Structure 1
Amino acid sequence: MADTRLPSAFAEFEPFAEKWCLATEPERWATRLSTAMPEIREFYDAFTPRFEEAIDYCDKFPLDDIPEDALNLLHLVYSMIMVSMAVEVFGTQKPADSADAVMHRVSAPVP
């Protein structure tokens, strides 16, 4: 299928790919802040059981030569890390008492 983003072994996460396969931390942060908690929770609950498996899959490839579908899966892993704090720690998208919390990076890990 032409519009698949993820490896076939992780096809059940395609419904989350368009929203959560984000290449940069600022994109992931902005998406977390602008997404309702029930939707964040849906992604979290779906991906959690296979999170370690997704990491193991991505670890099979060198970072400087990772296939596009595996890179998208890695971006999904990064998004899972971002939303896990909202679910496991804060219970909301934005940390309480954080005023105008923003993240500014002058560089970011690649990929």
Structure 2
Amino acid sequence: MTTTVDTSLPERFRALEPWVADWDLATRVERYEKRLSKTIDELQDFYDAIAPLAEEAIAYLDTRDVNALSDEDTRLLRLLYSMIIVSYPVNIFKQPRIPDSGAAFFDTAVEPAL
């Protein structure tokens, strides 16, 4: 008897499974809000997990048709988008918010089609 296991990421990137629940977010607004809800240590942990696999994940996704991504591939792409949103606070700001921005925020009128 064969059993199939339903997974949420392509096999090569399954080490990132613990991050899917928090960071598989469909819009930039959701990703930014998530970033602001996390501590810098939590952001650093996520970044440290995904950054070493980022180039390989991009190369993998480049072999796919962006207009026909599987659910697994879409999750991986969204994790990469989240990594980008997290990269600035981790590498530059050293805090979740933009320094000296007070209560300011930015909003997007239109999300990229995917």
TM over 0.5: yes
Q: Which residue of 2 aligns with 1:84?
A: 87
Task: Report the aligned-residue RMSD.
Answer: 1.0
Aligned residues: 110
1:46-61 → structure 2 map (5 Å cutoff) = 46-61=49-64
Q: What fraction of aligned residue pairs are identical, expressed as a percent?
A: 38
Shift of residue 100, structure 1, vs aligned partner: 1.6
TM-score (norm 2): 0.91
Q: Which residue of 2 aligns with 1:13?
A: 16
Contact 1:58 1:71 survives alignment (8 Å):
no
Runs (4 or more) in structure 1 with deviation over 4 Å come to none
What is the DSSP-based 3-state SS (H/G/I as helix, E as strand, rest coil) of the residue aligned with 1:109?
coil
Shift of residue 63, structure 1, vs aligned partner: 1.5
Q: Which residue of 2 aligns with 1:39?
A: 42
For structure 1, list consecutive stretches of 5 or more residues without a partner in the other structure: none
Greater C-alpha radius of gyration: 2
Read off the aligned partner of 1:35 and give its amino acid letter.
K
Distance of 2:113 and 2:88 partners within structure 1: 22
1:24 maps to 2:27 = yes
